[in-house]
Amino acid sequence: MRYLTRTLLALLALAALAAAGIAGAQPYPTRSIRLIAGYAPGGSTDTIARIVAGRLSETLGQQVVVENRVGASGTIGSDLVAKSAPDGYTALVGDIGGSAIAATLYSKLPYDPYKDFEHVSVMVTFPLVIIVPAGSRLTSFKQIIDDSRARPGSLSYGSQGVGSPAHLFAELMNLMANVKTVHVPYKGGAPALTGLLSQEVDFAITAVSTATAQIAAGKVRALAVTSAAPTPRLPGVPPMASVLPGFDAINFHSLHLPAHTPRAIVDKLYRETVAALQRPEVKARLDDLSMDVKGSTPEECAAFIRSEVEKWGKVVKATGARAD
């Protein structure tokens, strides 16, 4: 009888401790979250980061603060997140540069784009657009190709930086067209646009969201989009595939956490992010920016990142592009 009494008391004590632990546990998040954007303010990475951060701040009950850690085509920001504590308080807005292309473009990349992260969701996908100043003599994408064939290296283009989407999309263009153009890297899409307007380069490849205002104001002209098909957001602008059959290159923005972040935190951020993306006002804003909402699951996001690393690894090897 005494044994049963002691056993019962022990079980009751354990139950009380477990209940106290559950009652004392605070639901995530309990403080502000850093959302790292690896490019300068004004570019597409910064834009989507601020849209999502605003909505998550409302639904999570804690401030989600965007930090721009600029440099090396998103890899500085990616490395910061990869090495952060896996507690859900530092997250990354990735793109094709830091989350896929960098895997093979850098010989000594300090992080693994696939293994060093918990992949939360592919938030949006979108094409880039080739733009020229309004007064440029270049009036079509075909003319860019024709001029580059006639005078190799005579045309220069601006990008968000070495290893950025624009850089590799242009390298793929050079490879498929058998031409040479001169790469001029900037520290983000907005600086690249400024360089184009200052006529430091002949054309630029950038996100539609970065160029929208200048296109609408008539300061730049859109010549082609990088997707295989035209986008309804830029009526009359042909795909590069109309001149280079088979050309298809799409950028994306995705959400990531450091590897080994608890699955409960990953799932919560996934649910809240997808809910934010589905809000009518958010979808309308993203549509204005020519971004297609995806909201993939963590498993789908991981599979997508793996496939993009493999796809662009082949392009890097074929073109010989290097960032170091």
The tens digit of pLDDT for each residue in 213-236 reads 899 999 999 999 999 999 888 999
223, containing H or E segment = strand 220-225
Q: Homologous superfamily of 128-242 in CATH?
A: Periplasmic binding protein-like II (3.40.190.10)
Single pTM value for the model: 0.82
19 has a pLDDT exceeding 50: no
Average pLDDT over residues 199-215: 91
pLDDT tens digits, 81-97:
999 999 999 999 999 99
CA gap 242, 141 in Å, rounded: 9
Residue 19: DSSP 8-state: H
Fold match between 33-126+250-319 and 128-242?
yes
Identify the band that residue 43 occupies on the pLDDT scale cut at 50, 70 and 90: confident
The amino acid sitting at 243 is V
pLDDT above 60 (res 10): no
Helix, strand, or coil (residue 119) = strand
Task: Work out the angle between the directed axes of helices 298-319 and 165-177 (0-180°, nearest 10).
Answer: 50
Separation CA 25–CA 110 (nearest Å): 35
Alpha carbons within 13 A on the beta-carbon side of 35: 25
At residue 133, the 3 state secondary structure works out as strand
When pLDDT is cut at 50, 70 and 90, the band that residue 164 belongs to is: confident
The CATH class of 33-126+250-319 is alpha beta
pLDDT beyond 60 at 12? no
**Calculated CA dihedral for residues 167, 102, 264, 280, nearest 10 degrees:** 0
**Percent of the chain scored above 90 by pLDDT?**
77
pLDDT of residue 25: 60
Domain chopping of the chain, boundaries = 33-126+250-319, 128-242
